[in-house]
Chain A
Amino acid sequence: MSEVDDAGPILRVENLKKHFSTGSGVFDTVELDLSGGFPLKRTIEHVKAVDDVSFEIERGETLGLVGESGCGKSTLGRTILRLLQPTEGAIYFKGRNIAELDKGQLRRTRKDQQMIFQDPQSSLNPRMKVGPIVEEPMKAHDLYDQAGREERARELLEAVGLDPQHYNRYPHQFSGGQRQRINLARALSVDPDFIVCDEPTSALDASIQAQVLNTMRELQEEFNLTYLFISHDLSVIRHISDRVAVMYLGQIVELAEKEELFEDPKHPYTRSLLSAIPVPDPSQAGSRTILQGDVPDPVNPPSGCRFRTRCPELIPPDAYDLDNGEWAAVREFMRAVRRRAFDPDDRAAIETQFFDGVSLDGEPGAVVDDAVDHILAAEWETATDLLTEAFAEQSICAQEEPAYELDSDRSASRFAACHLHRE
């Protein structure tokens, strides 16, 4: 194609959004509204699976995309290939916005983009032999004649470390690792430039995973491939990636060169992830710090920074003059109240449990006293609201969405979405 741009990054994603509506039928979306006027109201809620994501992938590199389940990393991978229709935003593949292509044009770009899925079992048709499975994409794109396709299929089987003699075998005759190799061969058959790999080794045992990862690296060199490698496993990401993007609740919170990200993480979420994973070395046992709580609902993500509800480094509100000890005590108290994690006896007991050695005065002190009154009256919800409004909502983290470009020694720039980096 003439309009192809060979100089820039192979993929540039700009402000990409993918929202799903939650209601599945007419009655699902109708609610009773007695506040006046017509008593029925139609509301459609949207799960913001991918919400305003921008990044680039350079030719020949591997970008690792890591995050916990439900953070939107698989949705992002699929939306980039337009297996899902983006809600908003642009996806420039070799300089061309594929978010705007029609079906026919899209079909032709598919030749350059392939995908490998997590489950090697269900992504292979059990009734087809391995050879024809590998030939299928070539057929779809009208490449070669039958003899040429067969020859290429055999070559590819060999390239991914299988025996070309197994052309006539069925998928069930192979082990999990070998099936993932068949998937690799199929993806490579149309000679793509870019492959999205969605947890390709998660279903494999440790010893087999290492074999497949090594093969993927060799193939990258041999076929000059660019990978977007999606995984929840930070060890695998560290092994395979050149740069790493960390996702939380539909957004990228940090993007940096691999060594920088792992050795000097700039976002509290990345730090929490890294300190949460156990390390295969007993001398480092017990050094974990643990992220508390659960991921919030992506239908109503928190305002400002989405990680703030769990962030161990939440910035104290500028309005109050709290030192670190005081702020820590307030946050611990706030969390315990929200979770009703204690049985209240009297004011003194609560104060020794949460504010031992800390004296709050001024407005913060008054708010906490007020909250304790409500708790003793068993009004937990009121106490929670009071504390949230007075403390959590006042932080800059709740009021502005963070996005900071930082200096980097190893690459052009790095990105961290955290207000700790404000000037």
Chain B
Amino acid sequence: MTTPLLSVENLQTQFETAEGTVRAVDGISFDVHEGEIVGLVGESGAGKSVAISSVLRLVESPGEIVGGEIRFRGETLLSFEEGPNGERRQSPESLSNKEFRQRIRGREIATIFQDPMESLNPVFTIGSQLQEFIEINRELPPKDARDVAIETLREVDIPKPEDRFDDYPHEFSGGMRQRVLIAMAIACQPSLILADEPTTALDVTVEGQILNLVSNLQEEYGTSFVWVTHDLAVVADICDRVNVMYLGQMAEQADVHDLFDNTKHPYTEALLQSVPRPDKTVESLTPIEGVMPEAINPPSGCRFHPRCPDAREVCREVNPEPRNVSDTDNRHNAACVKHDVFDVDYEHSTPIQSEGDEFGEDLQVTEGSR
């Protein structure tokens, strides 16, 4: 196997709050290869956005990356070592923030966020923001940067790009603003784009336009993508491989076809059963029982066990790391002890009775508003 473009190992990001430490990302690993679209899926609170921000070093205080290793094309971007007093600290191999900003972010790894209005400055024109970005990152003189900017806007299908260059963000529709962000992301021809729910706020027809645009760009430039989403339909549509997250950890990692047709983790299975489908009428939905617990106080053992239909006593004790459970050559990781490779005697463990009430949603008092 060739060196992955991006490789994340055992990444840990936590937030110190008054109530205690929130381990938003708790030891996740994943790879992205050249030319791949990799999905990062989960419900709100799973830690997907924090994972992306960690790779981009955009985690803000009180959040902090406290462990793990991130490599890009084999080069270490971030790693940790043990200090003289046994404490964990960033190793000297890690790229400094300045170097990361100048060489990696924007040039090699670009990003697209969910809310395009928040990512664009409302008091500057669309064109000037795009042009400035190109001037700085590609070191072009203003006039050339302007030409590149207009060409990029045309490429993402903005009508009359010469005229719209001088418009302000509020004069663009939501879909067009998202196209501008995509234009900004591709303007420096990065090798990897991290997209955080970029189509969630958009209408279905606009979402379709954007997904097509991304597929075309990916074919044309061979750019790799990490696509963060809660929408399994989007994943099925554009991703090559998928990572499913639950409460800060990886539940399942597989090729997109294996994930949907040969699901190995009960959480993924339950998620697939709970969504209504546009292409066929489902008589009754099977919801997942309960709600996702707070990351500040995760359940013991497997984090999904209180909501899992397959949970047994052993699941309360063992918190499994994802392991390869594939019966083919394609790697298929699942973090569920019901598979034999975990060897924890799941077979003879007593099933846990469901604790949910008749409507399934456990009543639990959430502290403060989310």
On chain A, which size bracket covers the interface? 35 or more
| A221-237 Cβ-contact flags toward B at 8 Å (1 or 0) | 00000000000101110
Most chain B CB inside 10 Å of its own CB: which residue of A163, A208, A273? A208
**CB proximity of B290 to chain A, nearest CB, Å:** 9
| B275-305 Cβ-contact flags toward A at 8 Å (1 or 0) | 1111101101111100110000000000000
The interface residues of chain A lying within 8 Å CB-to-CB of B154 are 341
Cβ of B205 under 8 Å from chain A: yes
Cβ of A24 under 8 Å from chain B: no
Q: How far is the CA of A135 from the CA of B147 in the complex (A)?
A: 63
Most chain A CB inside 10 Å of its own CB: which residue of B211, B215, B368? B211
Q: How far is the CA of A331 from the CA of B256 in the complex (A)?
A: 37
Closest chain B residue, CB of each to CB of A240 = B276
Q: How far is the CA of A240 from the CA of B238 in the complex (A)?
A: 27
Most chain A CB inside 10 Å of its own CB: which residue of B173, B270, B275, B361? B361
Q: How far is the CA of A232 from the CA of B43 in the complex (A)?
A: 20
Closest chain A residue, CB of each to CB of B258 = A282
Given contacts A169-B365, A207-B271, are A278 and B234 in contact (CB under 8 A)?
Answer: yes
**Segment of A37-45, A170-178, A351-359 in the binding face:** A170-178
Q: Which of B44, B157, B233 contacts A279 (CB 8 A)?
A: B233
| A246-278 Cβ-contact flags toward B at 8 Å (1 or 0) | 000000000000110010000000001110111
The interface residues of chain B lying within 8 Å CB-to-CB of A209 are 274-275
Closest chain A residue, CB of each to CB of B270 = A207
Q: Which of A163, A258, A272, A276 contacts B207 (CB 8 A)?
A: A276
Within 8 A of A (CB), among B242-291: 256-257, 259-261, 270-272, 274-279, 281-282, 284-288, 291
Cβ of A129 under 8 Å from chain B: no
Cβ of A118 under 8 Å from chain B: no
Q: How far is the CA of A368 from the CA of B236 in the complex (A)?
A: 42
The interface residues of chain A lying within 8 Å CB-to-CB of B160 are 339-340
Cβ of A291 under 8 Å from chain B: yes
| B217-249 Cβ-contact flags toward A at 8 Å (1 or 0) | 000000000000011111111110000000000
Cβ of B19 under 8 Å from chain A: no
Cβ of B212 under 8 Å from chain A: yes
Closest chain A residue, CB of each to CB of B44 = A205
The interface residues of chain B lying within 8 Å CB-to-CB of A210 are 274-276, 285-288
The interface residues of chain A lying within 8 Å CB-to-CB of B31 are none
Cβ of A162 under 8 Å from chain B: yes
Given contacts A210-B285, A279-B237, A285-B238, are A238 and B277 in contact (CB under 8 A)?
Answer: yes
Query: Are A286 and B215 within 8 A (Cβ)?
Result: yes
Cβ of A413 under 8 Å from chain B: no
The interface residues of chain B lying within 8 Å CB-to-CB of A235 are 233, 275-278
The interface residues of chain B lying within 8 Å CB-to-CB of A69 are 203
Within 8 A of A (CB), among B130-171: 154, 157, 159-163
Query: Are A276 and B204 within 8 A (Cβ)?
Result: yes
Query: Are B203 and A232 within 8 A (Cβ)?
Result: yes
Cβ of B363 under 8 Å from chain A: yes
SS class, residues of chain A in contact with chain B: helix
Q: How far is the CA of A69 from the CA of B175 in the complex (A)?
A: 12
Q: How far is the CA of A272 from the CA of B203 in the complex (A)?
A: 13
Query: Are B369 and A279 within 8 A (Cβ)?
Result: no
Cβ of A54 under 8 Å from chain B: no
The interface residues of chain A lying within 8 Å CB-to-CB of B274 are 206-207, 209-210
Cβ of A382 under 8 Å from chain B: no
Q: Which of A163, A239, A277, A294 contacts B204 (CB 8 A)?
A: A277
Query: Are B209 and A238 within 8 A (Cβ)?
Result: no
Cβ of B358 under 8 Å from chain A: yes
The interface residues of chain A lying within 8 Å CB-to-CB of B270 are 207
Query: Are A206 and B275 within 8 A (Cβ)?
Result: yes
Q: How far is the CA of A283 from the CA of B286 in the complex (A)?
A: 23
Given contacts A210-B287, A280-B236, are A238 and B368 in contact (CB under 8 A)?
Answer: no
The interface residues of chain B lying within 8 Å CB-to-CB of A174 are 365-366
Q: How far is the CA of A288 from the CA of B43 in the complex (A)?
A: 25
Cβ of B360 under 8 Å from chain A: yes
| A282-311 Cβ-contact flags toward B at 8 Å (1 or 0) | 111110101110100000000000000000
Q: Which of A173, A208, A258 contacts B365 (CB 8 A)?
A: A173
| B186-229 Cβ-contact flags toward A at 8 Å (1 or 0) | 00000000000000000111111101100100000000000000
Query: Are A279 and B203 within 8 A (Cβ)?
Result: no
Cβ of B357 under 8 Å from chain A: yes
Q: How far is the CA of A37 from the CA of B81 in the complex (A)?
A: 83
The interface residues of chain A lying within 8 Å CB-to-CB of B205 are 68, 272-273, 276, 290-291
Query: Are B237 and A208 within 8 A (Cβ)?
Result: no
Closest chain A residue, CB of each to CB of B368 = A172
**CB proximity of A30 to chain B, nearest CB, Å:** 23
**CB proximity of A170 to chain B, nearest CB, Å:** 10
Within 8 A of B (CB), among A332-367: 338-341
Cβ of A142 under 8 Å from chain B: no
Query: Are A274 and B209 within 8 A (Cβ)?
Result: no
Query: Are B277 and A280 within 8 A (Cβ)?
Result: yes
Q: Which of A214, A236, A338, A341 contacts B287 (CB 8 A)?
A: A214
* List of 9 A-B pairs having minimum Cβ-Cβ separation, nearest first: A161-B359, A239-B276, A210-B287, A339-B159, A276-B208, A207-B288, A278-B237, A278-B233, A210-B274
**Residues of A in contact with B (beta carbons under 8 Å apart):** 68-69, 121, 161-163, 166, 169, 172-178, 181, 205-211, 213-215, 232, 234-236, 238-240, 258-259, 262, 272-274, 276-286, 288, 290-292, 294, 338-341
What are 12 A-B pairs with beta-carbon distances under 8 A? A68-B204, A176-B370, A177-B291, A205-B43, A206-B43, A235-B278, A239-B282, A273-B204, A281-B279, A282-B239, A285-B256, A294-B176
